[in-house]
Structure 1
């Protein structure tokens, strides 16, 4: 029985493990092993909702061990540190507890086929001070740390304001006007209003909680049509969010962000959302990588150096014959997981992977969204906004849940979320 090891339990890795477990694992044709450093999965496109306090990560996380038990694959918790291609093994670092004691020693895990689904991390583009003075949204702990800092900052500023601090408040600078930056800004604005409503702070949500987006390009959301970008910018400004385009960051210092023109932006908190790259591990695996550290793969998602190793999602570099390089997006990881689930257990030479761009949707808070749908009417791109876009945006997460759990459990989770939304505050209050 061959062993297929999947390193990384993100959107693509966990879906692939689930599908292979339901097919090859259940039939006893292969041993499927999923490896991840964390014990549970959270859908990365929703990390901004954890950072804003809209969503509790624990309520929507998927325990890898529980998913493995229900879908005929094995979960091994560990941080992958290297590959021995000759011996066909990967190395997992020792697992330690919160007190530093060793729970499991360093170990080797054998594979016949290895799928790298390592995701991506924040790219600081060598901007001085960025790595030292900003928050990022690469994982749940980082999002939770940002939310706690935001909550504490609002309460601290409220106390100073009550003591006669004038207009002293909270300055939040978000570097990067892509989807993550725009979605976080909108949700933070909503959270500031809800925290004031529940008397968690006594600040004016607009005058005292000052949110600013710095985007080096001429438009927010550069992957969308300029008309939609302008629409998103107008909506953010209507919420009191300052939008600064054509603004490149030169350096970040403690409490201030400085652009290339020498302008300084005071910042109680700085969130970096200006781009991603592959994890540093990818550059150490003796595999061909591009300038972003992504592993180069061919049309069948096999690495160009070793046919026994595959890569998918954000850590993979695949040039689409039509449209150039595939952007690191959740829909690309989903399509590649579907492709590998069908081809890994099939004998013979598989057909090349073909990526189809179905469009993009961006949330602008609880009641608004913008985006474009591709291929909905012939080959035309359909621009959407308002309630329709918001409804379609919510469906993306439900589609992910259905891929992991099936329709019945997805529907049950949707009903549970609906009930929870109506009996709980709209944001976390502590």
Structure 2
């Protein structure tokens, strides 16, 4: 099986690139020349996984089928997970697929390509912390978020029928994921209490643990201060300057003392997969693929984008692992690959533009800075304005893969569904 362009990974960047290329090439040529590969059958925008984990977003309503997206955007889709890559032979192999009972469904496959794009994302970095892999939940994939949600519902039920009447959750990592998960868990708890009788109500104790001296360390200090104040006012214990020394079934051991917890979520740091080092490409110490200013790896014809790519930026820094970076890289590679299909060349290098950051702090709350350093001093926004702008980023991603009118219809349908069935998923 051969395709001109094979994209491995259907995250924000990989899916947007496949959709852009497919639409540009048209119905027949796109499906023959562009292939998207992903290990899942439906797509969830990764920045919303904390909502899936808290139960305030239903994957059955939010998830978009890759097969349907492929048909609408004129590219081909294959279910599979990357097992090996031969850059010189321009061939990759996919792992065999088995069902839950271990029965073989699809054997291992080989696919040849002219150009390939690796958009396989990254995972959690436990920094060698004892017990983290065994006792902490992560939010890397949709199944991770759903696994935590299932455990959370059990913990909610148990807490509502115990004399202590309390559930303690510790979140390690004060980045955007940790902060937003804290806010969504508060929303879930509030909605749940509205459906319980007085005798079943319980207290939710949330502790956000950060090793640095402030949360949201990659964002302006004003955003960090506002987020800290908002979380504290809502009852979250924000513990900074505390390094996690061990994770146990009963909680955390930190440099600031023990933190009892019924559930622990690890949201501190990202690291590319160890298997990246075995694909025949140059990688960094964190296993990211080294790419040049055209997003090409050490092998000609092999590109990388998103979290798995170590892309140079400025002052010796790398392009940050953000959805906006993956979006920009997808748009850039669209031009590069379309030019190659037409035997042309894009001389202009990729340049990341920081448009700022937004953080959701609950249903009607948010903070953020816009325009980054493009126009001098950052423009600070908060409250409903920041929240609505945060939602608009999600809608912009949907518009890139669905189109304007389909996104409008989808947004209205989900709004009506929420009004009827409620926001919290309790199953």
* Displacement of 1:268: 0.5
1:158 aligns with 160
Distance 1:100 1:237, change over 3 A: same
Q: Deviations over 1:78-120 (max 9, x none)?
A: 1111101232110100011122111110110111101000011
Match of 2:260 among 246, 257, 266: 266
- Give structure 1 stretches of 5+ with no counterpart: none
1:78-227 matches, within 5 Å, as 78-160=80-162, 165=163, 167-199=164-196, 202=199, 204=201, 208-227=203-222
Query: Is residue 2:31 matched to residue 1:36?
Result: no
Q: Distance in 1 between matches of 2:372 and 2:209?
A: 32
Q: Which residue does 1:251 correspond to in 2?
A: 246
Q: CA-to-partner distance for each residue in 1:107-136, whole Å, 9 max, x for gaps?
A: 101111010000111111111110111000
Q: Is the 8 A contact 1:203 1:209 kept in 2?
A: no
How far off is 1:320 after superposition?
Answer: 1.0
Taking the aligned partners of 2:24 and 2:275, their CA distance within structure 1 comes to 30
Assess if the C-alpha contact under 8 Å between 2:161 and 2:200 holds in 1.
no
Instruction: Specify which of 398, 405, 415 is matched with residue 412 of structure 2.
Output: 415
SS in 2 for 1:344: helix
Corresponding residue of 2:383: 386
Q: Which residue of 2 aligns with 1:340?
A: 333
TM-score (norm 2): 0.95
1:329 matched to 2:329? The reply is no
3-state DSSP class of the match of 2:33?
strand
Displacement of 1:348 after TM fit? Answer: 2.1
The whole-number CA distance in structure 1 between the counterparts of 2:307 and 2:210 is 22
Q: Does residue 1:373 correspond to 2:375, yes or no? A: no
Aligned in 2, Cα 1:175/1:131: closer, same or farther, shift over 3 Å? same
- What does 1:296-375 correspond to in 2, within 5 Å? 296-303=290-297, 305-321=298-314, 324-346=317-339, 347-374=344-371
Contact map agreement 1:155 1:200 (CA 8 A) in 2: no
Cα pair distance change 1:239/1:202, threshold 3 Å: farther
Which deviations, in whole Å up to 9, do the C-alpha atoms of 1:17-74 show, x marking residues without a partner? 0011111354727610001111111000000001111010121111111111111111
Greater than 2 Å deviation, 4+ residue runs: 24-30, 200-205, 321-324, 375-380
Deviations 1:189-219 (A, max 9, x none): 11111111111895555xx211100001111
Identify if the C-alpha distance between structure 1 residues 18 and 274 changes in structure 2 by more than 3 Å, giving closer, same or farther.
Answer: same
Distance 1:324-1:376 versus aligned 2 partners, 3 A rule: closer
Query: For each residue in 1:279-330, what CA deviation from the matched residue of structure 2 results, as whole angstroms up to 9, or x when unmatched?
Result: 2221211211112110000000000x21210000000001114672111110
The answer to whether structure 1 residue 11 and structure 2 residue 17 are counterparts is no
- Asked whether the 8 Å contact 1:11–1:334 carries over to 2, the reply is yes
Check conservation: 2:355, 2:374, Cα contact below 8 A.
no
What is the number of residues matched between the two proteins? 421
TM-score, normalization: structure 1? 0.94
Give, in whole Å, the separation in 1 of the partners of 2:147 and 2:345.
48
CA contact (8 A) 2:335 2:346 kept: no
**Preserved CA contact (<8 Å) 1:169 1:203:** no
CA 201–393 in structure 1, closer or farther in 2 if over 3 Å, else same = farther
In structure 2, distance between residues paired with 1:349 and 1:42: 31
Q: Do the aligned partners of residues 113 and 200 (structure 1) sit closer, same or farther apart at CA in structure 2, a change above 3 Å counting? A: farther
- The answer to whether the 8 A contact 2:213-2:240 is kept is yes
Cα distance in 1 between the residues matched to 2:346 and 2:401: 27
Q: Deviations over 1:342-398 (max 9, x none)?
A: 111211243100110000000001110001001698333101101110110010000
* Contact 1:158/1:201 (8 A) holds in 2: no
The SS at the match of 2:246 is strand
